[in-house]
Amino acid sequence: MKNLAHLAFKSENTLGRALPVELDKDQKLYFMDPYELDVVKIQQSKAFRRLSGKTQVISRRHNVNIRDRLIHTMEIASAAVLSAYRLSANVSLCRAGALGHDVGHVTLGHLGEDFLAEVSGENFRHEKFAIFVLEMVENLNLSYETLHVIRYHSRGSGDIILNGNAIEDDLVMICDKIYIISDCNDMKRIDRRFDIPSEMIDLGNNRTERLDAYLQSFWKESLSKGRISFEDSDNIKKIKAVRDFMFSNVYHQLDYEECRQNGKKMLTRLYDYFCNYFKSNQGLDSSLSQRSAILAMALMSEPDAYFLNEAMARNKAVDFYLENMKFCSLAEFLPRIPKLAQLDFYNPDRFLDKTNFGKLSKTECFAK
């Protein structure tokens, strides 16, 4: 079986970064491989740190063994690096893309994402918002290919959809699907009575064995076909069966449990509060106040959300806590939010168009 080195993206062929070197605060590190530099940039960002305050599937407020977005991200990055080495893909590009893939996720995971889509009337997608966060909020100036991997790690379906672009795009997307294995592990952790589907047990006796079976099957099929592929293996069919079970019996059911219902109520209270805050405190019109509220909620962490919600419940000075960096991480972004909210933070496709990237300003690309 041949490796896929001939299909790997070569670092020297990078399209580069949106800003010229003289405007990059990390220009002194340009001696590195561009994607290893992206790894450093992402890991040192506030967006990456905030992942520890974002739910994966189950809230970990009372159990630190439950995975949050940061732990999920590290697991996916590990799987992506292993797969890149095994298949001879660009390891650094896969590492960078995997580490940044979920920075666009919002408070309360998909529940929060659905809420923001509902109140905005826009197709709010975390993989699109991630590009805005990294480039317009964090100003990381990442390589085009890293941003592309992040943008296309999720393709609007729980299924595996290959896009035929760089193999690193597809590799990270496939590795991201191991969340099913970890979610079963967490469900069993919080509920001993949870019956893990038989197809998952067929993969192995524990998460380590199941992950190994998943990756080995992925690697074997890809090497045998001479391209990234995970369509025909019996193990991917088992994973798809488990995914269907989890959506029907876990993910959708969680939406009706008390904690999720309380989460929706909290999000509604916070949205109303932020709309009023930006309108009353900063004199914005209703439209921009609403967009600012949505952007603020998309950027805040869950500790922020719970803290502000509890302050409201106790009739405390919520504005003071929001604006004080000692209490609220969102305070660092508040002065910039009204200006950023005037941009199109829902859709990065114009920015990632190769004919615009590095030629048009980022503000022009994200203009409404």
Average pLDDT over residues 12-39: 96
Average pLDDT over residues 206-221: 97
Average pLDDT over residues 293-310: 95
Average pLDDT over residues 330-353: 96
For the record, the structure tokens of 88 come out as: 């001879």
pLDDT band of residue 193 (cuts 50, 70, 90) is confident
| DSSP assignment string, 284-309 | --HHHHHHHHHHHHHH--HHHHHHHH
Average pLDDT over residues 29-36: 97
pLDDT band of residue 62 (cuts 50, 70, 90) is confident
Average pLDDT over residues 154-173: 78
Positive or negative torsion for Cα 109, 114, 117, 118: negative
Span of 146-155, 254-263, 315-324 with lowest mean pLDDT: 254-263
Q: What is the pLDDT of residue 315?
A: 82
Number of neighbouring beta carbons within 10 Å of residue 316: 12
Q: What is the pLDDT of residue 164?
A: 62
pLDDT band of residue 258 (cuts 50, 70, 90) is low
Q: Is-contact 128 115, C-beta < 8 A?
A: no
In the predicted model, what is the mean pLDDT of the chain?
92
pTM of the model: 0.94
Residue type, 219: W
Average pLDDT over residues 332-340: 96
Q: What is the pLDDT of residue 2?
A: 77
Q: What is the pLDDT of residue 132?
A: 98
Q: What is the pLDDT of residue 77?
A: 98
pLDDT per residue as tens digits for the range 75-120: 999 999 999 999 999 999 999 999 999 999 998 888 899 999 999 9
Q: What is the pLDDT of residue 264?
A: 87
For each of the domains in the chain, give its residue range(s) and CATH number, in order of start.
5-253 (1.10.3210.10), 258-344 (no CATH)
User: Is pLDDT of 1 > 60?
Assistant: no
pLDDT band of residue 350 (cuts 50, 70, 90) is very high
Helical residues (DSSP H) of the chain, grouped into ranges = 34-43, 46-49, 69-87, 91-100, 109-120, 126-132, 144-151, 167-176, 179-190, 198-203, 207-225, 234-246, 252-254, 258-281, 286-299, 302-313, 318-323, 337-341, 349-352, 362-365
